[in-house]
């Protein structure tokens, strides 16, 4: 092994040895500080610069972990990475691992605060009645497409859309064409796309909308010239569209041919969204405008009138908006999921494409199973992230062994993979939105969900659940419950790295 490729432990030992040697007078005893510094550079830093750099970066990474009070599993996973690959591991953590303390996050939190002061409508996280609810859950994704097109056509004042992925395909281009037509008609169109999820879409797809007077922004580019609103780790995973501040479409579907469209497509993911009207839309407007101001550098004061607007009653459904991300105190979606599981008296259904929960959420769920409550998990048999499929195996095996009903949606990438997110508790509470049941969605991404308090709506969502179950196969006998030595090694690696995903 060359001098430039020492491990973290060896590098630390060499630094300590050099200090001891100097203190003992072995090297140039009695010389001034300048000579001591020259010794450190010549004998320790320069020959082993990778190890020294690893030490410095590792110290910076540890300081961030301490300030953020991370979970044990997350800390252990990152430390495992840093110990074996000090420079690469620490750099990856500092680029991708931060959560609550970066300058860009502080800026976003300040914008949220100003928007919250201006708003006089529904408060986020507080259930309010007077809303309507429509499930857009057909297997082909046509209902969500038709709802979006109808709302775009009927909008008279404003169209606000946030998406993680804007497809550079026929569906993405057709959507932009329709938005451009409304912009030319005088409607204020704002389209916010995630800089990573929609990489290149602004240049390749959005030209007609910009030319028509619409506004298109990217959320958190990885690299920016100003450095104020960039970041590699924080992704806006929200999918929502708000029309005239009164109607909204929210769910897990991105804007592309893989998620929705005017005709059935064999390769389309199985997903769903909901259309809502009423006071709940005020909370969605606030989330959008806060994100928009962060991306544009504008003050929420510019949108005072829209932030203060609260739609009238449109139905009898009680709902609440829960926005989650590094810009809000705590982890609201995670806290809500844990609380709902703990409060469950009858049964729980969880539908998610990716299942990599943190230790607390997993243990609470496992405790409910062991307490005799009905717990049903619906996940894709094979998702579009093979590594996440490996990481979920220990959780599925443990929950199945404890008595949970684990079902595998019988589709995969290119054949209707399950991409929907749904959480049903007992007979009266349902959660729909953009968040997966993994640590990235629950602790890092910007997400949004609707928590619905209505037995009538939950009954409609149970119909969707039954449709999903009809296309599932049991976990037992699927082959996924069997672990040979090769899969065991891969599962162990994925389980260790899982908290980083």
Phi, psi of 440 (to 5 degrees): -65, -45
What is the rounded CA–CA span in Å between residue 52 and residue 395?
Answer: 38
Q: Are 471 and 407 in contact (CB under 8 A)?
A: no
pLDDT band, residue 26 (cuts 50/70/90): very low
pLDDT at 136: 97
Range of the domain at 474: 332-500
- Residue 412 placed within a domain: yes
pLDDT at 20: 45
pLDDT at 226 over 80: no
- Residue 70 placed within a domain: yes
Q: Which residue has the higher pLDDT, 210 or 497?
A: 210
| Statement to judge: residues 384 and 409 lie in one domain | yes
* Beta-bridge partners for 74: none
Q: What is the pLDDT of residues 103-120, one digit of tens each?
A: 666 777 788 888 777 775
For 346, residues 6+ apart whose C-beta sits below 8 A from its C-beta are 373, 374, 426, 427
- Residue 167 placed within a domain: yes
What is the rounded CA–CA span in Å between residue 279 and residue 320?
Answer: 10
| Statement to judge: residues 305 and 389 lie in one domain | no
What is the rounded CA–CA span in Å between residue 97 and residue 80?
Answer: 14
pLDDT at 450 over 80: yes
Which is nearest to 102 in space by CA: 57, 74, 68? Answer: 68
pLDDT at 237 over 70: yes
pLDDT band, residue 8 (cuts 50/70/90): very low
Domain final residue, candidates 287, 321, 355: 321
Tell me, yes or no, if the pTM score tops 0.85: no
Mean pLDDT (whole number) for 227-248: 83
| Statement to judge: residues 165 and 240 lie in one domain | yes
Which is nearest to 362 in space by CA: 255, 437, 287? Answer: 437
pLDDT at 24 over 70: no
Which is nearest to 424 in space by CA: 341, 342, 367? Answer: 341
Q: Which residue has the higher pLDDT, 203 or 456?
A: 456
- Residue 327 placed within a domain: no
Token couple for 123: 């408060």
Q: How high is the mean pLDDT of the chain?
A: 82
Mean pLDDT check: name the lowest of 98-107, 247-256, 294-303, 392-401: 98-107
The H-or-E segment that residue 161 falls in is: strand 158-163
The H-or-E segment that residue 274 falls in is: strand 273-277
What is the rounded CA–CA span in Å between residue 365 and residue 370?
Answer: 9
Which is nearest to 472 in space by CA: 398, 395, 377, 356? Answer: 377
Q: What is the pLDDT of residues 117-142, one digit of tens each?
A: 777 544 566 788 999 999 999 989 99
| Statement to judge: residues 262 and 377 lie in one domain | no
| Statement to judge: residues 81 and 115 lie in one domain | no
| Statement to judge: residues 313 and 214 lie in one domain | yes
- Give the distance from CA 206 to its chain's centroid: 24
| Statement to judge: residues 109 and 61 lie in one domain | no
Domain final residue, candidates 321, 344, 375: 321
| Statement to judge: residues 113 and 255 lie in one domain | yes
pLDDT at 49 over 80: no
| Statement to judge: residues 79 and 108 lie in one domain | no
- State the total domains in the chain: 3
Mean pLDDT (whole number) for 411-418: 69
| Statement to judge: residues 236 and 135 lie in one domain | yes
In the chain, how many H helices and how many E strands? Answer: 18, 17
- Residue 326 placed within a domain: no
What is the rounded CA–CA span in Å between residue 162 and residue 252?
Answer: 12
pLDDT at 99 over 80: no
Q: Label residues 464-498 b or e (16+ Cβ within 10 Å = b).
A: bbeebeebbeebeebebeeeeeeeeebbeebbebb
Q: What is the pLDDT of residues 364-386, one digit of tens each?
A: 999 999 999 999 999 999 999 88
| Statement to judge: residues 245 and 382 lie in one domain | no
Q: DSSP readout, 366-404?
A: HHHHHTT-EEEEEEESS-S-HHHHHHHHHHHHHHHHHT-
pLDDT at 392 over 70: yes
Q: Which residue has the higher pLDDT, 149 or 18?
A: 149
Please tell me what DSSP assigns to residue 449. E
pLDDT at 94: 55
Domain final residue, candidates 75, 97, 119: 97
The H-or-E segment that residue 277 falls in is: strand 273-277
pLDDT at 294 over 80: yes
What is the rounded CA–CA span in Å between residue 21 and residue 12?
Answer: 14
Q: Are 197 and 172 in contact (CB under 8 A)?
A: no
- Residue 132 placed within a domain: yes
- Residue 83 placed within a domain: yes
- Residue 129 placed within a domain: yes
- The CATH number linked to 403 is 3.30.870.10
Q: Are 145 and 171 in contact (CB under 8 A)?
A: yes
| Statement to judge: residues 124 and 236 lie in one domain | yes
Q: Which residue has the higher pLDDT, 104 or 15?
A: 104
Helices (H), 198-276: 201-204, 207-211
């Amino acid at each position: 092994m060359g001098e430039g490729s020492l491990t973290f432990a060896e590098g630390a030992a060499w630094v300590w040895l050099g200090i001891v040697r100097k203190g003992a007078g072995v090297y140039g005893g009695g010389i001034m500080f300048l000579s001591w510094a020259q010794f450190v550079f010549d004998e320790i830093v320069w020959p082993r610069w990778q190890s020294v750099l690893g030490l410095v970066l590792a110290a910076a990474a540890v300081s961030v972990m301490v300030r953020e009070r991370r979970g044990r599993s997350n800390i252990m996973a990152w430390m495992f990475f840093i110990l074996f690959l000090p420079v690469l591991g620490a750099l990856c953590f500092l680029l991708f691992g931060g959560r609550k303390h970066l300058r860009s996050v502080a800026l976003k939190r300040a914008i949220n605060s100003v928007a919250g002061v201006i708003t006089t409508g529904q408060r986020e996280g507080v259930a309010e009645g007077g809303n309507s609810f429509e499930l857009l859950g057909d297997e082909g994704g046509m209902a969500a497409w038709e709802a979006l097109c109808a709302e775009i056509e009927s909008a008279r004042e404003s169209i606000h859309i946030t998406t993680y992925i804007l497809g550079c395909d026929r569906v993405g281009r057709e959507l932009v064409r329709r938005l451009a037509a409304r912009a030319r008609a005088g409607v204020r169109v704002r389209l916010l796309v995630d800089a990573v999820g929609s990489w290149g879409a602004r240049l390749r797809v959005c030209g007609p909308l910009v030319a028509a007077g619409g506004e298109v922004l990217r959320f958190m580019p990885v690299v920016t010239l100003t450095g104020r609103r960039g970041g590699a780790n924080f992704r806006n995973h929200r999918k929502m569209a708000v029309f005239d501040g009164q109607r909204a479409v929210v769910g897990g579907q991105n804007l592309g041919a893989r998620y929705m469209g005017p005709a059935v497509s064999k390769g389309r993911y199985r997903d769903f969204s909901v259309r809502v009207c009423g006071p709940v839309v005020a909370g969605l407007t606030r989330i959008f405008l806060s994100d928009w101001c962060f991306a544009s550098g504008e003050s929420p004061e510019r949108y005072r009138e829209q932030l203060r607007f609260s739609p009238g009653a449109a139905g009898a459904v009680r709902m609440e908006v829960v926005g989650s991300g590094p810009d809000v105190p705590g982890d609201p979606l995670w806290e809500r999921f844990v609380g709902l599981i703990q409060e469950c008296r009858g049964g729980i259904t969880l539908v998610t494409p990716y299942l990599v929960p943190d230790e607390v959420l997993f243990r609470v769920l496992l405790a409910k199973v062991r307490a005799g409550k009905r717990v049903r998990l619906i996940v894709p048999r094979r998702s579009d992230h093979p590594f996440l499929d490996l990481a979920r195996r220990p959780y599925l095996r443990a929950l199945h062994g404890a008595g949970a009903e684990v079902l595998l949606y019988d589709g995969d990438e290119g054949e209707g993979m399950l991409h929907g997110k749904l959480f049903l508790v007992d007979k009266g509470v349902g959660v729909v939105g953009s968040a997966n049941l993994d640590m990235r969605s629950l602790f890092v991404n910007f997400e949004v969900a609707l928590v619905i308090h209505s037995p009538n709506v939950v009954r409609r969502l149970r119909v969707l659940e039954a449709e999903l179950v009809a296309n599932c196969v049991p976990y037992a006998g699927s082959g996924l419950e069997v672990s040979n030595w090769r899969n065991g090694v891969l599962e162990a690696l994925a389980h260790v790295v899982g908290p980083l995903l």
